[in-house]
Amino acid sequence: MRFAGKVAVVTGSGREGGLGEAIARRLSEEGAKVVISDIGTSRDASTPDAMIGSTDEMKRIADAMPSEATTFACDVRDPAQVEALADHAVETFGSLDIWVNNAGIGYIMKPLVDVSVDDWRAVIDVNLNGAWFGLQAAAKRMIAAGKGGRIINVASQAAKSGFPHAQAYSSSKHALVGLVRSASIELGPEGITVNNVCPNHVTTGLGKWQNEHFAEVQGISVEEYLKRMAARIPMGRPGLPQDTASAIAFLCSDEAIYITGESMNVSGGEEPH
């Protein structure tokens, strides 16, 4: 129970079977009180119902957590809503010790010449601006409490390498590397660590869509696409949600007190730098 008495917020954790749910569950299993947060309802064309965590899903996920949990609908593109999310954690559970920026758009994938301005802005708004708003909101409350804290961004293998059809996505994730390097310098004296985790492909609901998309782009079956993916990974398989959840749990623990400003690969050896 490494996180007994701790309070954690996980954005983008409202999809059943999603990466955010796995992260929240792992922290909850080890005693943390968790805030399950997602956008709740579609707000525009860039947040379709099929790709977001609904209000009902959030409630089901929270009800199934091993430790105490609550829900809060938040569009991370809006700093006021992110501030309200941080306030909700403190007002409900009394503190804010762990903040995981997991919300992201990984379903706008197009050839470079077909990417619209709206596409670009949608991805940057969620993946980069949303992480920045979360980091800032969490840091302010952690500094005020004077107990330190853990802030973690779910970046991606795309924070280290480029991929076709993922110009905005890769740019947003690369930017998170610079963000944690700078933020960790400022927040280190406050006892707050700031890190990224960089998983390779994880077949959640979003991952399934990506498999189908890139298989179609390459003119091969999904089965063949997955076979080729596994062949280039030294560990012989894509990532699982619990792989990333375990890495985050470690970075949130006292064992990682001296680790900050890092972008940790969780890729089975596929991403070597």
Closest listed residue to residue 57, CA positions, set 76, 38, 34: 38
User: How far is 41 from 49, CA to CA, in rounded Å?
Assistant: 7
User: How far is 28 from 7, CA to CA, in rounded Å?
Assistant: 9
Neighbours of 119 (CB within 10 A): 18
Q: Are 53 and 40 in contact (CB under 8 A)?
A: yes
* CB-based contacts of 144, cutoff 8 Å, min separation 6: none
* CB-based contacts of 17, cutoff 8 Å, min separation 6: 204, 205, 241
Out of 107, 169, 225, 258, which one is annotated catalytic?
Answer: 169
258 as an active site residue: the answer is no
Token pair of 22 as six digits: 């796995």
Closest listed residue to residue 85, CA positions, set 129, 19, 134: 134
Q: Are 238 and 200 in contact (CB under 8 A)?
A: yes
How far CA 272 is from CA of 38, 198, 199, 200, in Å, comes to 32, 11, 12, 11
Neighbours of 197 (CB within 10 A): 26
The per-residue DSSP string of 191-216 comes to TEEEEEEEE--B-SHHHHHHHHHHHH
How far CA 205 is from CA of 16, 31, 128, 144, 163, in Å, comes to 9, 27, 21, 38, 20
Active-site residues, by number, are: 169
